[in-house]
Amino acid sequence: HVNTDFDFVSIDVEGTNTEVIKSINWDLLPKCKLICIEHEEKEQVYIDYLKQFGFSGYHRTSVNLLMSR
């Protein structure tokens, strides 16, 4: 049994954030309400991709993108 009871996920994997985000089955993390991603100037890619999983609100800092659902 894998625990999927996360409400917050932080992703910072030095240059492979896009691959990591796309490898996660976000439907299996229904309780996840907030994601923090080191955006590497690709924030629109992440916003567009994560919309399909119900993430909509976002806040951008100089380094991170925070998205909520």
Name the token pair of 58.
């976002």
Distances 55 to 21, 26, 32, 42 between C-alpha atoms, Å:
13, 10, 10, 16
pLDDT in tens, 16-56: 989 999 999 898 888 999 999 998 888 899 999 999 999 98
Please name the amino acid found at residue 20.
Answer: V
Residue 68 predicted with pLDDT over 70: yes
17 contacts: CB under 8 Å, gap ≥ 6: 11, 37, 38, 39, 40, 42, 46
- Rounded to 5°, the CA angle 30-47-35 comes to 45
